[in-house]
Amino acid sequence: LSAQADVFKNPVDIYRSYIANELHKISGVDRELIYPALETNISKDAADLNLPVPRLRAKGKPAELASKWAEAFPKGYVNCEANGIFLRFNFDGSKLTELVLPMIWSKQSEYGRNNSGNGKVAVIEFSSPNIAKPFHAGHLRSTIIGSFLANLHESQGWKVYRINYLGDWGKQFGLLAVGFELHGDEEQLSKDPIRHLYQVYVKINADATAEQEKIDAEKAEAEAAGKPYETPVTLHDKARQFFKRMEEGDEEALKVWGRFRELSITKLQETYERLNIKYDQYDGESQVPLDLMNEALEKLKTLGLIEEDKGALLVDLSKHDKKLGKAIVQKSDGATLYLTRDIGTAIRRYNKYHFDKSIYVVASQQDLYFAQLFKIFELMGFEWAKKCVHINYGLVQGMSTRKGKAVFLDDIMEVAKEEMHKVMKKNEEKYAQIKNPEEVADIVGKTAVRIQDSTGKRVNNYVFDWSRMLSFEGDTGPYLQYAHSRLCSVRRKVNFTDEQIANADLSLLKEQDAFDLVRLLSQYPDVLKSSFRFQETSTVVTYLFKLTHMVSKLYDILWVQGREEPLQLARLNLFGAARLVLYNGMTLLG
Ligand code: ARG
């Protein structure tokens, strides 16, 4: 079995291969049929591998075949028994230990990764906030889920491009420019562009509302007096004119807007770096060349897909799928739309990256939108249409900070850090031992936010709850960090070298609880595969909690201090492997 460790990189796959070989000899069924039918399940009472005999399509009654084959299966590495129409395979604890622990120690951060995606390219678009508007909970989820999916794809051998598609185009930038003339402050703009632009945007919107009320009142007055009333040029008119200049390529206008964009991106980069995220490209709605969108519209027309409705152009998708309805691709004044920009962007993205998969991590509110978008790609005949995937997710309820209703990514992390700091201070004795409390509070706080977001299935809604997520008890981010620290401290307390621990005599591990932990560790590469299959962060998070619970129980059973040296080394080997798997999983989570 060990000889195959390098080929498979995955202990469970090694057993699959072994079982497929042996069962093939007994039953004559093709290995290729047996191998994928061997299922894992991390729940406690399940067998290590389970095989539904009907899946092998062999002649005979499944239950009879199961007991016949179980009888004939060789003893040693695997215990095979029949259970109705299932074959249950349980790995021998000591042999599994001898295989898995050296594998983890030798592979280190590579353990769990595989090459299945080698040569394939994934473009993953996530976070995608709108400049001058709040970064809301939906963007937070996209950031957390997207950055994990990017790491996960890399762990499965894919080449990944991380893209942030900013909401950086549209009439609101005209309004913002008009607003900046009135309320802008250069100093604040360079200090905190994101917050300042948002403040300006709020002010100018309030101005515009007040202006409209005034106009309405004056108009009513004039009408009552029978006088003519000429509506003045409003802020919104000026905004529209400004945006029109932008769309026509007016250099002055683009310069103003371009500065807002540049400064915002610089600030965003800092913030994302704090979350260990580095983008390959800051794309945005502004970045789609007009030619490309016009070409796309021409193509739609040539294909006979465009209809006109009061000057606007639309595609009637309901002809192809009732629930998709109609999608507008050009406004009556000729302006482009969110949808048109997405069509242009996708074409550009494919030409640039030649992706095998293009993922959009966007909230479920845009389900219909993405269904329409992808249908349009398909109707336009792009062969890459089926490579586009919308990864959606549920709502976050009740997220706000004490700093106000508008939430920025920076605020969320700052509050998480401050609150975490408070929690840490409660234990004065421990607190006094921390050399860099601010840094620790920052790391644990960020972990808290990420883990809270990734504990449930992504399609579910969840309630944002500061006190619960910052707690060291229960399945929280701080608990995971604590569990990892404790494993580090077990290692620190002894004076062995890594080499001594790596070469420990593993036959000294005999306890059933030790075997259970080894089993769990052996499943980690499979857990990543299944997380990948469903693009589900919670699969990994659930696994890590299971791992940490099991480890915490083991401290009382597998004492290290005061034991004979060889036993100490064997147990440290096991704890070290557990720490490594926990570390790998947490790194993947960001
Ligand atoms: N900026 C958009 C929003 O805040 C999300 C962009 C999603 N991506 C896309 N390609 N449409 O709603």
CA-167 nearest atom, ligand 1: 1
**Which residues neighbour 364 within 8 Å (Cβ) at sequence distance 6 or greater?**
392, 393, 394, 395, 459
CA distance 170 to 164: 17
Largest Cα span, the chain: 104
Taking the domains of the chain in order of start, what are their residue ranges? 2-91, 121-286+342-391, 288-341, 457-588
By percentage, how much of the chain surpasses pLDDT 70?
A: 97
Evaluate whether 2-91 and 121-286+342-391 have a shared fold: no
Beta strands at 121-125 and 86-91: parallel, antiparallel or unpaired = unpaired
Residue 453 neighbours by CB distance under 10 Å: 25
User: Is there a catalytic annotation at residue 136?
Assistant: yes
Out of 2-6, 325-329, 430-434, 532-536, which region has the weakest mean confidence (pLDDT)? Answer: 2-6
Q: What would the mean pLDDT of 465-493 be, rounded to a whole number?
A: 93
Least confident range of 439-448, 449-458, 465-474: 465-474
- How are strands ordered across the β-sheet holding 121-125? 281-284, 159-166, 121-125, 357-361, 388-391
The whole-angstrom separation of Cα 55 and Cα 311 is: 58
Ligand 1 closest atom vs CA 136: 4
Rg, C-alpha atoms of the chain: 30
Of the candidate ranges 2-6, 365-369, 425-429, 450-454, the one whose mean pLDDT is the lowest: 2-6
**pLDDT for the residue numbered 534:** 95
Which of 342, 345, 318, 348 minimizes the C-alpha distance to 329?
342
Min mean pLDDT across 176-180, 399-403, 453-457 is at: 399-403
For the domain 2-91, what is the CATH code?
Answer: 3.30.1360.70
Q: How many Å lie between the centroid of ligand 1 and the Cα of residue 170?
A: 13
- The answer to whether the CB of 360 is under 6 A from ligand 1 is yes
Q: How confident is the model at residue 125 (pLDDT cuts 50, 70, 90)?
A: very high
CA of 362 to the centre of ligand 1 (A): 7
Spatial separation of the C-alpha atoms in residues 530 and 532, rounded to whole Å: 5
Average pLDDT over residues 411-426: 92
283 C-beta closer than 6 A to ligand 1: no
Confidence of residue 65 (pLDDT cuts 50, 70, 90): very high
Measured CA to CA, the distance from residue 550 to residue 548 in angstroms comes to: 5
Bridge partners of 83? 86
Give 387-403 pLDDT, tens digit per residue: 999 999 998 887 765 55
Testing ligand 1's pocket by substitution, the residue of 366, 376, 377, 395 carrying the most ligand atoms inside 8 A of its CB is 366
CB of 165 closer than 6 angstroms to any ligand 1 atom? yes
Which atom of ligand 1 is the closest one to the Cα of 138? Answer: 4
Residue among 135, 286, 362, 392 to mutate when testing ligand 1 (max atoms within 8 A of CB): 362
Residue 130 beta carbon below 6 angstroms from any ligand 1 atom: yes
Q: In 3D, which of 392, 485, 481, 391 has the Cα closest to residue 444?
A: 481
Q: What local confidence, expressed as pLDDT, does residue 436 receive?
A: 96
- C-beta 167 within 6 A of ligand 1: yes
Based on the residue annotation, tell me whether 139 is a catalytic residue of this protein: yes
Q: Is 464 left (phi over 0), alpha (psi -120 to 50) or beta?
A: beta
Average of per-residue pLDDT across 480-501: 96
- The whole-angstrom separation of Cα 132 and Cα 198 is 4
Looking at 24, 95, 107, 133, which residue is catalytic?
133
pLDDT at 5: 57
CA distance 252 to 241: 13
Q: How far apart are CA 337 and CA 331, in angstroms?
A: 7
Question: Which two tokens mark 482?
Answer: 């604590």
Q: What is the ipTM of this complex?
A: 0.99
Q: Which is more confident, 466 or 388?
A: 388
Q: Could you tell me where the beta strands, DSSP code E, fall in 339-476?
A: 357-361, 388-391, 396-397, 462-463
Find the catalytic residue in 24, 95, 107, 136: 136
Nearest CA to ligand 1 atom 10: 342
Sign of CA dihedral 187, 189, 192, 198: positive
Q: What's this model's pTM, rounded to 2 decimal places? A: 0.93
In this prediction, residue 8 carries a pLDDT of 65
Q: Nearest C-alpha to atom 3 of ligand 1 is from which residue? A: 129
Sign of the Cα torsion 360, 365, 370, 373 reads negative
Atom from ligand 1 closest to the CA of residue 373: 11
Smallest Cα–Cα separation from 197: which of 272, 267, 273?
A: 267
pLDDT digits (tens, 9 = 90+) for 259-311: 999 999 999 999 999 999 999 999 999 999 989 999 999 999 999 999 999 99
Give one word for 4, left, alpha or beta, with left for phi > 0 and alpha for psi -120 to 50.
alpha
d(C-alpha 279, C-alpha 589), whole Å: 16
- Position 45 confidence tier, pLDDT thresholds 50, 70, 90: confident
Q: CATH code for 457-588?
A: 1.10.730.10
Domain at 121-286+342-391: CATH architecture: 3-Layer(aba) Sandwich (3.40)
- Most informative mutation of 128, 139, 364 for ligand 1 (most atoms within 8 A of CB): 128
DSSP E strands, 401-479: 462-463
For tokens 């408070």, name the residue. 422
Residue 342 near ligand 1, beta carbon < 6 Å: yes
